[in-house]
Amino acid sequence: MKFSATIFITLAIAIIVSLASCTKSYTCHCNIVYSGTPGLPDSSVQEYTIHDTKSGAKSKCDAESEKHVHDGIQSVETCYLY
């Protein structure tokens, strides 16, 4: 009985360590460019942290990329995992 409890505890610790090591902090880097009329702000950069697996962080960051058009002013936000 003691042998199977040791195996179970060892296996549980290994699973916890492997799952915890998959989740890391990633930086999402977004470039924002404005166009359409004179006098608009210069391009800007925003960065924020995502705590997830690499594939999860990449999909969340890529989802932030978008294009907006309002009254002839266009803003394009391009995001990538840094």
Around Cβ 33, how many Cβ atoms within 10 Å?
15
The arithmetic mean of pLDDT across residues 73-82, rounded, is 94
What is the predicted pLDDT for the residue at 20?
62
Give me the percent of the chain exceeding a pLDDT of 70: 91
pLDDT band for 64, please (50, 70, 90 cuts): very high
Structural domain boundaries in the chain = 24-81
pTM over 0.85: no
Q: Residue 1 pLDDT more than 60?
A: no
Q: Is the dihedral of CA 61, 28, 68, 70 positive or negative?
A: positive
Write out pLDDT tens, residues 5-39.
Answer: 788 888 888 777 766 667 789 999 999 999 998 88
Q: Strands 44-52 and 73-81, how do they pair?
A: unpaired
- Beta strands 24-35; 73-81: pairing state: antiparallel
